[in-house]
Amino acid sequence: MHQVLVNKFGGVEQLQVIPLPDPEPGPGEVVVRLTSIGMNHADLMARRGEYRLTSGNPPFTPGLEGGGVIVAVGTAVSDRTVGQRVILTLDGPKLRGPGQGTYQSHYVLPAAHTIPAPPQIEDVLLGALWLPYLTAWGCLVWRQNLQPGQWVLIPAASSSVAIAAAQVVKQCGAISVGTTRNPAKLEQLQAMPEACFDYLICTDQDSWWRQGKKLTAGRGFDVIFDPVAAGSFLNQEIRLLAPGGTLWIYGLLGQPDVVDVTPLIRKRAALRGWLVNELVEGGMATTAYTHVLNRVADSTYQLPVAGTFSLGEVRQAHITLEKGGHIGKLILVPASISP
């Protein structure tokens, strides 16, 4: 098997692929040969030393999600078989402690932490669905209880989480407005059927928020689903909240800065944080897995794949993710390790 290691916190030069003996499953465990490892912004933060809670100290293996084919089954496993296609549960990669992420060709874990995948879902998607769809569905449907006709602002529209959110909003009968900083991406998003935002706004000018206000006939947004959470952008979002609205912060792509929260009082509006792991803590993970798999299997949810890379191309994959020119999900496909 092969495993990616981050030897020291730093740049892509710290990513190294090492060969290891193929693993054996212990009692109750399976070995999954991963065909898909979804890449996430958090992987970059882990490599740089900005996400130690997940990574621990170097050397460590990054990666939050994965899926593939069972290649070995341990004793006392009766409900999984060799050849079965599965997805690691959201908390599966955390069971072995910090730093044992999914950037590897084979993953050993308890059989109970694998979810059988429907045949309609392609191998390349098996490890790339959870973070986009569980993050969006868990927040907007489970936590927010989004209602038909409500207005939802979705910044960083080109990210896989935002595109998943647009699809979830559509299913709820609500109205989505995506934002991007990049005029070229705006045009690309408009041409992509998966990016089913009802409206798109480019935030390259400070006055962008007026367009949002106008779209909502001056009322503002019932819900804002935000991974940016940066000073002036966050100030503008707070101004865009409708009375009683909620701004969910689920990422920190921007630089934290001073924020004026006084409009929240006048609007009786809320600023809340969201972490996808809450689905596991709240006993909702199985419901969420079933929902997402059913909707992907029947093509209601369609994840756009922005690019795939072998494990041997992991440095190039991180450079691509870091540049931010992609739209949708970048995925490591470890079947072959060579570039």
Ligand X SMILES: NC(=O)c1ccc[n+]([C@@H]2O[C@H](COP(=O)([O-])OP(=O)(O)OC[C@H]3O[C@@H](n4cnc5c(N)ncnc54)[C@H](OP(=O)(O)O)[C@@H]3O)[C@@H](O)[C@H]2O)c1
Position 181 contacts ligand X (CB under 6 A): yes
Position 135 contacts ligand X (CB under 6 A): yes
Position 227 contacts ligand X (CB under 6 A): yes
Segment contacting ligand X by CB under 6 A, of 20-28, 77-85, 237-245, 247-255: 247-255
For ligand X, which is the closer residue by CB, 253 or 264? 253
- Of 297-336, binders to ligand X (CB under 6 A) are 321, 324
Q: Using the rule CB under 6 A, which residue among 5, 71, 253, 335 binds ligand X?
A: 253
Q: Using the rule CB under 6 A, which residue among 276, 311, 314, 331 binds ligand X?
A: 276
For ligand X, which is the closer residue by CB, 36 or 158? 158
Position 113 contacts ligand X (CB under 6 A): no
Position 161 contacts ligand X (CB under 6 A): yes
Position 146 contacts ligand X (CB under 6 A): no
Q: How far is the CB of 294 from ligand X (least distance, A)?
A: 21
- Residues touching ligand X: how many (CB under 6 A)? 26
Could you tell me the sign of the dihedral formed by the alpha carbons of 50, 53, 59, 65, in that order?
negative
Position 254 contacts ligand X (CB under 6 A): yes
- Give contact residues for ligand X (rule: CB under 6 A): 40-42, 131, 135, 156, 158-161, 180-182, 185, 227-228, 230, 250-251, 253-254, 274-276, 321, 324
